[in-house]
Amino acid sequence: MFTRLTLLRLKAASLCVVGIALAAIPLSAAEPKKPNVIFIAIDDLNHWVGYFGRNPQTITPNIDRLASHGTRFTHSYCAAPVCNPSRAALLTGVRPFTSGVYENNDDWRQVISEELPLTTTFRKAGYTVKGAGKIYHGSYPRRSEWDDYLANEGSEPKPKGDTGVGGIKFAPLDCRDDELHDWKIVQYGIDELKKPHDRPFFLAIGLHKPHMPWNVPRKYYDMHPLADIKLPPTQPGDLSDVPSAGIAMARPDGDHREILESGRWKDAIQGYLAAISYCDAMIGRLIDAYDHSAERDNTIIVFWGDHGWHLGEKQHWRKFALWEESTRAPLIWVAPGVTKPNTVCDRTVDFMSIYPTLTDLCGLATPKHIEGRSIRSLLENPESKWDSPAVTTYRFGNHAIRTERWRYIRYNNGDEELYDEAADPYEWTNLALDPNYADAKEALKQHLPRHNQPDVNISTTR
């Protein structure tokens, strides 16, 4: 079982031995200091961020300020549109179709050993590795990977009365910013940045908002008056050309039907925008601390969202699908001496690039098991040639291939979707059955994985 991963563990173990031996060799005075890393993860933040231009209602001055420090990617995609498999893949370098980690209830620790993750690679290289908040999915922590981790985020106030519509939870809170978990998580990061450091550090800060419930202080709701809220672009009958497998993921008779019947679609949009604005305020606190840090000029920042989110597009809510809204999320890099301020990269990348890019930038050996490529060349020159599409997997055998022009979806039952993103950015016209696009579809198929590992929950019980 998991023959490939077993081999990968052996390879990783041999690399660790070499790494330990090298770590014992004294550094010469001339050897440059390794850069620090601030690793910022945001939960359920889609492309409703100012620099994307996707939704003009969003208010994200601090995330946009961070983007102006370095290079922002306009076409960046998750490995899976679900928290647990997305984070497990990004942090370990092992894609869902290799590990069998597809769902939130798949314990990735059972199939991915402690030698493989990003944190271990940095610790072996002499880094102090600390974290707070949601980095891995909260159900499956492995604290032994960390030198220190915020143990107690405290409790949060609950809304009184109305809490939303069905499973879509939103309501303003009459409380202060510092009464929510994310304030304490960011404060941990601020305190770490103020400390003196005798070793390079890897500092991971994971914010919960805008994950539901969208319960944030009322002032953030007031920033988005309900009377001004506009619904996302939709089209009647949008699912009429979507195959059965896609409709099953959309679940139009679930959340979307409840929202329509309630008449509170705009209220839900307001809640999501408010939660984003609260998240943005917390990022502002962290970036202020970074800007005043003595380590600023030797510290890399990577900022990413674990996946996107639908708010009624294609009659779908939440993530759990393979369309643009659920797979696209922000990616920002600030790398002193590599990125240039306020640069934009329109190349299509996925988040499997984060692990190898960090090791590349920090001068560390990239482990052989990594299923992703460094994007350092794009950080140095955003116009560089790039020919690797983004690959997103949701559950067993379902994949999306995204290039700069196309999105191709192939479901496990053989159903297909094809969208020309240049002409159809909201994916309203499925071209998969149009013979005029057969060549484009065939080229995209070449990027589908050749093997799909069974779900870990099935595999580990055999």
Q: Which residues are catalytic?
A: 83, 137
Cβ burial of 32 (10 Å; 0-12, 13-18, 19+) is exposed
CA-based nearest residue to 276, from 21, 11, 3, 57: 57
Residue 336: DSSP 8-state: T
Contact present, 60 and 67 (Cβ < 8 Å)? no
Residues 6+ apart with CB under 8 A from 72: 51, 330, 331, 332, 343, 344, 345
Contact present, 57 and 276 (Cβ < 8 Å)? no
Does residue 358 sit in helix, strand or coil? helix
Chain mean position to CA 167:
22
Contact present, 417 and 409 (Cβ < 8 Å)? yes
Q: How does DSSP assign 199-244, residue by residue?
A: S-EEEEEEE-TTSSSB--BHHHHHTS-GGG--PPP--TTGGGGS-H
